Amino acid sequence: MIAAIDGPAGTGKSTVAQRVARSADLYYLNSGNFYRAITWYVLQQGLDSEDLTAVSAAARSLSLDVWSHGIVVDGKKLRRQLREESVDANVASVSSSPEVRDIVNRQLRRISRNRDVVAEGRDMTTVVFPDADVKIYLDASLESRARRRYDDLAHSMPLAEVQERIAERDKIDSTKPVGRLKLDPSALYIDSSDLTINQVCEIVLHAIFSAKTKPSTGAIGQS
């Protein structure tokens, strides 16, 4: 079972995917964490995150894996490093490299080969798992996403600035040449602006359980 969830920043994708993973006994795969881990490494090496030749060479040299709280880079377990401000500021550039995307996508598919997973990001439904059993596009208005992020940050930044930053990320996410965020026509579209996290989880779980119990069509008519 592969459940793929895409959507812009601040829709609650990670929270929904983690809760759904627990309820449906699926492995939670956060694709953004891979881009964050590579970005962290690039910065550690003193490389310029906009020098995509150097970035992709660095990404090629790495061993990447997952652990329960993040990503393992060359044997080092990363968790809080993935959320550092410098990583936030440079990850969009790193994730715009087609070669880096290819490296990450191969890892995501490898990890999912022998597991039932719920994978979240920007191109899970379109590029990485186009044949996923369940595809979800989780959306919300810019205002409600900004409000949620503002609450998460305990109001440490003005609401207008939070909204501006999210709008900037939307622009980068939806205009990058490879792996940009788009709505897959076969995905279930959920606008969570006026829904609670629990309501969104219920909708996603319903889709997963329906897919699990759907009779396989492959055998019909075969002799």
Least distance from ligand DC to the Cβ atom of residue 193, Å: 19
Least distance from ligand DC to the Cβ atom of residue 220, Å: 34
**List of residues contacting ligand DC (CB under 6 A):** 9, 31-32, 35-36, 91-92, 95, 121-123, 173, 179
> Which residues have C-beta within 8 Å of that of residue 202, sequence separation ≥ 6?
none
In 3D space, the residue among 179, 200, 64 whose CA is nearest the CA of residue 125 turns out to be: 179
Least distance from ligand DC to the Cβ atom of residue 74, Å: 20
Alpha carbons 219 and 223: distance in angstroms, whole number = 8
Closest CB to ligand DC among 12 and 201? Answer: 12
Question: Residues 82, 94: contact at Cβ < 8 Å?
Answer: no
Least distance from ligand DC to the Cβ atom of residue 122, Å: 4
Closest CB to ligand DC among 163 and 221? Answer: 163
Alpha carbons 136 and 204: distance in angstroms, whole number = 7
Alpha carbons 143 and 75: distance in angstroms, whole number = 40
Closest CB to ligand DC among 127 and 207? Answer: 127
Closest CB to ligand DC among 131 and 206? Answer: 131
